A and B are shown apart, each in its own frame.
Chain A
């Protein structure tokens, strides 16, 4: 493998049903940073059936080139044809860096492709930068420059690993959605579009998709929720939980509650967090009108981020909260919901 031949930062532009996923734009935003450090350009790889029309959108978010693999076989995501497509693109165009979103699709596709092109892959990265490897010079070991340093949480977030791939190309990473920033849209931007089709010969490795179900789950298990909007007695009434439901809807979370709320008959027991309820570890936990007795805190203190809203500044919940607002939830929640809605709309 001649590493010098490999050039450029490539991004897998995930699309589903002819619509680009948000992660594609996030990756482009990051790829622009990396490309400017490496003094190279950004290429999006678009794979699907009848998707050429999406190229302009990719250009608007920072793609200098778009490689389109367009084939009827690629209508819905399937491991084998998509792997064939992306691996062929890599072998043909030799990118230095290949980024894939760590979505359900990307987590399936990334490892397959990396094995096929015989390179390293770091999964679920939260930070990417260009730097030296090893980080500090070591006697007897060549320090390579302009390497992709891929950082990811490991062991359930208890340790942070920074990983490099010095001897193989491309340097591949799947990137956690929501971590990277997309750039502001450049209206009217155009990218150089290259059509490439490696040819598809279906064989027994091609799975047959029988049915695709888009489920809208009515009852959720709060233990699986990534974001929980949790209310306590301070919410005041079952009707007032509407404020929490609005916030949960805006931010894509679920509503949970404290024991007091269950005892009052405002919410069912399976939404209760705490010693006698469920133990949850969401990425974000809003504790709203919850005083924060240990009986409750024991069920949620492992949350990655705790945001407390309470009118009593001495409430024990503030001892475990990362962010706290002292004030009336009736005033704060509607504003918070509005702001989040605006932010979500801006992201789209």
Chain B
């Protein structure tokens, strides 16, 4: 049992931190205010290889382990929740399923461009009527000759419109299971620019405002037969397994947001004076910070453990669910306390903690709400 990071990981973390401080932090507030996707930063991250960290070198990635990737998301989230989720959705939700379920041709065709950041990825599962109940899919894919024809829509898609490659989950038929009719769900790779594939609403969000969250619309969108990902009818399993990995990314994002808010607060309470001394000298401040730091570290250990589990275990759903559930709670709690300790200034947009509080809330909702994580964890306990 070794809790110290090895040299390789320490070096990687230093690189991520420097990049975040120098390249991301100066634009974080502007990204939030303008709600504009930070394309320039994404291009820079591509140059540094941040968009293919856990991808094997032969597919154009960095060949690092899941922990290195989680640390990258964590360090980015310390300064900008938006930038962190761009990397996470791209890596966990688009590259990972292609690497895990794709044929050799599909991997060769899509992964190098994605890993190098030449192209950006996204994942389309959620629909207006199918959120937590992902089985409620309405989008259909019908085989017509040697093309699949997609009809339907997806909502709340991170990296929507900005991404070039999309993993899309759709219904391909009905199957009888134990005498009950069930939807047969499959996964597909769809490229931006395919006729019949358009973008609808851009959502106006409370937080992660620079993240491009769009509706995807498929109207008789025809894709080649070979763009099905994995076997026909295996789409639901693919989506669920993809989300297990994605949850580690979101847990890392939540952890980073909490750490960022804690760092800012520690600095602030030392500087701010009331009653003739810094507010750090008041015991309430000290105890609050102690609670925050303890829960942040607990979250960090869970997140890192889940990242390790992804590396060493075939199944890591429970580890990922625990990490995301707890880290998201910690992010919400720590950012709320951070705003409080800043007092009135914490409520002003110039001080970054209010943004972090807004960004934190989504980590309890997307890639499976906290309630879903509890379902996964308890389901495993009681099986």
The finding on whether chains A and B are genuine partners in a shared complex, rather than unrelated, reads yes
B128: interface (CB < 8 Å):
yes
A291: interface (CB < 8 Å):
yes
A240: interface (CB < 8 Å):
no
Query: Closest B-chain residue to A263, C-beta based?
Result: B201
Once the chains bind, are A260 and B201 in contact (CB under 8 Å)?
Answer: yes
Chain B nearest CB from A268 CB (Å) reads: 16
Query: Closest B-chain residue to A297, C-beta based?
Result: B129
- Interface size counted on chain A using CB atoms at 8 A: 13
Once the chains bind, are A314 and B138 in contact (CB under 8 Å)?
Answer: yes
Task: Name the contact of B128 in the complex, choosing from A263, A264, A294, A314 (C-beta under 8 A).
Answer: A294
Once the chains bind, are B200 and A312 in contact (CB under 8 Å)?
Answer: no
Once the chains bind, are A316 and B129 in contact (CB under 8 Å)?
Answer: yes
B217: interface (CB < 8 Å):
yes
Give the distance in Å from the alpha carbon of A314 to the alpha carbon of B127 in the complex.
15
Given A233-B217, A291-B138, A259-B201 contact (CB < 8 Å) = yes
Instruction: List residues 109-146 of chain B with CB under 8 A from any CB of chain A.
Output: 127-129, 138, 140
Query: Closest A-chain residue to B174, C-beta based?
Result: A314
Give the distance in Å from the alpha carbon of A312 to the alpha carbon of B171 in the complex.
13
Contacts of B140 in A (CB 8 A): 312, 314
Task: Name the contact of B151 in the complex, choosing from A263, A295, A312, A316 (C-beta under 8 A).
Answer: A312
Chain B nearest CB from A275 CB (Å) reads: 10
The 8 A CB mask of B203-244 against A (1 = contact, 0 = none) is: 000000000000101000000000000000000000000000
A340: interface (CB < 8 Å):
no
Once the chains bind, are A263 and B129 in contact (CB under 8 Å)?
Answer: no
Chain A nearest CB from B164 CB (Å) reads: 23
Chain B nearest CB from A179 CB (Å) reads: 37
Contacts of B151 in A (CB 8 A): 312
Give the distance in Å from the alpha carbon of A264 to the alpha carbon of B202 in the complex.
11
Contacts of A233 in B (CB 8 A): 153, 200, 217
Query: Closest B-chain residue to A293, C-beta based?
Result: B128
Given A233-B217, A312-B151, A314-B138, A293-B129 contact (CB < 8 Å) = yes
Instruction: List residues 264-308 of chain A with CB under 8 A from any CB of chain B.
Output: 264, 291, 293-295
Contacts of A295 in B (CB 8 A): 128
Give the distance in Å from the alpha carbon of A295 to the alpha carbon of B217 in the complex.
17
Instruction: List residues 268-314 of chain B with CB under 8 A from any CB of chain A.
Output: none
Give the distance in Å from the alpha carbon of A295 to the alpha carbon of B201 in the complex.
14
- Interface size counted on chain B using CB atoms at 8 A: 11
Once the chains bind, are B138 and A316 in contact (CB under 8 Å)?
Answer: yes
Give the distance in Å from the alpha carbon of A259 to the alpha carbon of B153 in the complex.
13
Query: Closest A-chain residue to B130, C-beta based?
Result: A293
Once the chains bind, are A294 and B217 in contact (CB under 8 Å)?
Answer: no
Once the chains bind, are A294 and B201 in contact (CB under 8 Å)?
Answer: no
Chain B nearest CB from A227 CB (Å) reads: 26
Query: Closest A-chain residue to B129, C-beta based?
Result: A293
Give the distance in Å from the alpha carbon of A315 to the alpha carbon of B136 in the complex.
12
Contacts of B138 in A (CB 8 A): 291, 314-316
Once the chains bind, are A294 and B200 in contact (CB under 8 Å)?
Answer: no
Contacts of A263 in B (CB 8 A): 200-201, 215
Contacts of A293 in B (CB 8 A): 127-129
Contacts of A259 in B (CB 8 A): 201
Chain A nearest CB from B218 CB (Å) reads: 11
Contacts of B128 in A (CB 8 A): 291, 293-295
Instruction: List residues 140-165 of chain B with CB under 8 A from any CB of chain A.
Output: 140, 151, 153
Query: Closest A-chain residue to B202, C-beta based?
Result: A263
Once the chains bind, are A260 and B129 in contact (CB under 8 Å)?
Answer: no
Give the distance in Å from the alpha carbon of A314 to the alpha carbon of B215 in the complex.
21
Contacts of B129 in A (CB 8 A): 293-294, 316
The 8 A CB mask of B190-206 against A (1 = contact, 0 = none) is: 00000000001100000
Contacts of A315 in B (CB 8 A): 138
Chain B nearest CB from A259 CB (Å) reads: 7
Give the distance in Å from the alpha carbon of A264 to the alpha carbon of B201 in the complex.
8
Contacts of B200 in A (CB 8 A): 233, 260, 263-264
Chain A nearest CB from B132 CB (Å) reads: 13
Chain A nearest CB from B234 CB (Å) reads: 22
Chain A nearest CB from B72 CB (Å) reads: 34
Contacts of A316 in B (CB 8 A): 129, 138
Instruction: List residues 147-201 of chain A with CB under 8 A from any CB of chain B.
Output: none
Chain A nearest CB from B366 CB (Å) reads: 18
Contacts of A260 in B (CB 8 A): 200-201, 215
Contacts of B215 in A (CB 8 A): 260, 263
Query: Closest B-chain residue to A260, C-beta based?
Result: B200
Give the distance in Å from the alpha carbon of A190 to the alpha carbon of B14 in the complex.
102
Contacts of A314 in B (CB 8 A): 138, 140
Give the distance in Å from the alpha carbon of A164 to the alpha carbon of B168 in the complex.
63
Query: Closest A-chain residue to B171, C-beta based?
Result: A314
Chain A nearest CB from B246 CB (Å) reads: 24
Chain A nearest CB from B94 CB (Å) reads: 25
Chain B nearest CB from A287 CB (Å) reads: 15
Chain B nearest CB from A231 CB (Å) reads: 15
Contacts of B153 in A (CB 8 A): 233, 291
Give the distance in Å from the alpha carbon of A220 to the alpha carbon of B127 in the complex.
32
Contacts of A291 in B (CB 8 A): 128, 138, 153
Instruction: List residues 193-248 of chain A with CB under 8 A from any CB of chain B.
Output: 233
Give the distance in Å from the alpha carbon of A316 to the alpha carbon of B130 in the complex.
12
Give the distance in Å from the alpha carbon of A295 to the alpha carbon of B140 in the complex.
20
Give the distance in Å from the alpha carbon of A293 to the alpha carbon of B139 in the complex.
12
Contacts of A264 in B (CB 8 A): 200
Give the distance in Å from the alpha carbon of A291 to the alpha carbon of B219 in the complex.
13
Most buried by A among B127, B138, B140: B138
Q: Which 9 A-B pairs have the closest CB atoms?
A: A293-B128, A263-B201, A293-B129, A295-B128, A263-B200, A316-B129, A294-B129, A260-B200, A291-B138
Can you pick out 11 interface pairs between chain A and chain B where the beta carbons lie within 8 Å of each other?
A: A233-B153, A233-B200, A260-B201, A263-B201, A291-B153, A293-B127, A294-B128, A312-B140, A312-B151, A314-B140, A315-B138
Not counting A293-B127, A295-B128, a sample of 16 additional A-B residue pairs whose C-beta atoms are within 8 angstroms of each other reads: A233-B200, A233-B217, A260-B200, A260-B201, A263-B200, A263-B201, A263-B215, A264-B200, A291-B138, A291-B153, A293-B128, A293-B129, A312-B140, A312-B151, A314-B140, A316-B138
